[in-house]
Amino acid sequence: MNTKFITLILLFSLSLSLSACLKAKDRLDFNQNQNGGKEVQPPVLAEAELEQNYQTAVKEALLPYWQKQDISGVKDKILELRAPAKFLDLHFNLVVALELLEQGKAGADQGKIEAGMEKLNVLKTKYPWLSE
C-alpha cells in the first residue's frame, strides 16, 4: 500500500511538471507568432548617428587623460563602446595606445609611455575632434 501511494504521488508530480513545461512552451510559441517568429530587435540607429554618438563617448572617455594625464579606467571605457565601421582603426589604435601607457606606468617603462603618447598624438592629428 505504501508503494502504491508513492507511485501515485510520483505520477501526479510528473504530470504537473509536464503540464507546466507545455504551458511555458505554448507561451513561447504564442510570443514568437506575435512577432512573426522573429526575435524583437532594438531599432537600428543610422550610421551617422552611431558615428556622432561614438565621437561624443570617446571624447568623454579621454577627458581625464587630456586634463590630468590620468589613464585609470580610460581604456575600459573605450572597450565598452561599440565602434562604427568608420572608426574601427581608431578604436583599435586607441586601445593599443592606452595599453602601452598603462604598461609603461605600471612597469616604470619610459619607452612604452612614450610609444603610447606618440600613438595618441598621431591619432589626434588624424582625428582632431579627439581633443576638442
pLDDT tens series, the chain, 132 aa: 577 767 666 666 656 565 665 566 666 555 555 555 566 565 566 878 888 888 898 888 888 888 888 888 888 888 888 888 888 898 888 988 888 888 888 888 888 889 888 998 999 999 998 887
pLDDT at res. 78? 85
Host domain of residue 11 = 1-41
* Rounded Cα gap, residues 31 and 17, in angstroms: 21
Q: Do residue 61 and residue 123 come from a single domain?
A: yes
Q: Do residue 55 and residue 20 come from a single domain?
A: no
Q: pTM for this structure? A: 0.61
CB 75 within 8 A of CB 102: yes
Q: Do residue 101 and residue 65 come from a single domain?
A: yes
The Cα-based distances of 52 to 4, 57, 62 in angstroms read: 71, 9, 16
CB 113 within 8 A of CB 100: yes
Q: Do residue 17 and residue 68 come from a single domain?
A: no
CB 90 within 8 A of CB 83: yes
Q: Do residue 53 and residue 103 come from a single domain?
A: yes
* Rounded Cα gap, residues 84 and 91, in angstroms: 9
Q: Do residue 30 and residue 90 come from a single domain?
A: no
Q: Do residue 88 and residue 51 come from a single domain?
A: yes
Q: Do residue 111 and residue 69 come from a single domain?
A: yes
Q: Do residue 122 and residue 76 come from a single domain?
A: yes
Angle (CA) 18-19-22 rounded to 5° is: 85
pLDDT at res. 122? 93
Q: Do residue 90 and residue 113 come from a single domain?
A: yes
Q: Do residue 36 and residue 65 come from a single domain?
A: no
How many domains would you assign to the chain?
2
Q: Do residue 27 and residue 53 come from a single domain?
A: no
